Amino acid sequence: MNVMPGVVFEAERPRETAEFWAALLEGELVGGDHDSGGYDGGRDRGGRDAGDDGRGSHVTGGYDGGGLRVRLPDGPTVRVVGATAGKPAKNRIHLDLASDGDGDGVARRGTQRAIVDRAIRLGAARIDIGQYAGRVPVPWQVLADPAGNEFCVLEPRGEYAASGVLAAVVIESPDPHRLAEFWSGATRWPIVRTDPELVSLRAPGGRGPWLELLSADPCPPVTPRCRLELTVPPGAPDTAGADTTATGDAATGDAATGNTATGNTAAGTAAVAPGAFAVEADRLCLLGATRRGAGRLVDPDGIVIDLAPGG
């Protein structure tokens, strides 16, 4: 199974942040009521409905592994859970959004300026993380979501023509070439581009967002506040015969620990075979990951990985 890692953000106001990403990425928001007040249709700060332009999001009921989850049509999920700590520095993981050029005919995603304007209406803010320090201004725009998570809106780039709204999940690393070997094995995605400062992975089918490893020195600190998520396929065989309690199968989606439910079929989550989490954890450890508790590991750089039920 080829897996695009999902991204998990912690936020002081999870619903606000989840609604922001659902509207901006044109995704479907699922999950239970984790704070007061119902979903308001994705209204921006000015009271406009995010669906006014026909590209809003909607909510379906049911528990989906803890927190609120934004499902994308062709890509990873973005899960938002309650904050367990403050945000001390720039995240090591961020999202890159794709844009269309002015002469692309019928815009599928919108121009860079239109996406930036829309993100700000929905609650984003422009930020400076040093992108203006060089002699030549960078062509991308850097913003932060309502919880302070950084993301970039890219200028039009041909390599992201088939990526949809989300161009890439980007991981900063002191050694992206070494880390790319781990993530290629973890996702079963081939490495398709290798530059001195960047390594790119792509799904074998050539569609959906990229996974990119970017050189950073100094590298931002690793914290659970922004982490990655890998899914365990429904019905995965129990080849390890492990105790399900020890591997996270009895977890309930507690945001403080990162554990996720694994067999909640009544709430719309497909059942995962007993021991499947142990099998996947063992596979990732053979690739270089380290266990950090039930349903949680860290990659060779120390980035937190949550295991979640697929389906």
In this prediction, residue 108 carries a pLDDT of 77
How would you classify the pairing of strands 150-153 and 93-97? parallel
The structure tokens listed for 17 are 């942040």
CATH topology of domain 93-215: 2,3-Dihydroxybiphenyl 1,2-Dioxygenase; domain 1 (3.10.180)
Cα(205)–Cα(187) distance, integer angstroms: 13
Please tell me the total number of residues recorded for the chain in this structure.
311
The type of residue at 163 is S
| Domain regions of the chain by residue span | 6-82, 93-215, 226-309
Q: Which residue has the tokens 């995605």?
A: 189
Cα(230)–Cα(7) distance, integer angstroms: 9
The structure tokens listed for 185 are 């094995």
In this prediction, residue 45 carries a pLDDT of 40
Pair 254, 248: CB distance under 8 Å = no
| Cis geometry, peptide bond prior to residue 88 (ω within 30 degrees of 0) | no
Q: How many CA atoms lie within 13 A of 219 on its CB side?
A: 20
How would you classify the pairing of strands 226-232 and 304-309? parallel
Tens digit of each residue's pLDDT, the chain (311 residues): 567 899 999 999 999 999 999 999 999 999 855 333 333 333 344 443 333 333 444 333 333 347 899 998 777 899 999 998 889 899 999 999 999 987 654 457 899 999 999 999 999 999 987 766 667 778 889 999 999 999 999 999 999 988 889 999 999 999 999 999 999 999 999 999 999 999 999 999 888 899 999 999 889 999 889 999 998 877 555 443 333 333 333 333 333 333 333 333 333 445 666 688 899 999 999 999 999 988 899 999 999 999 988 75
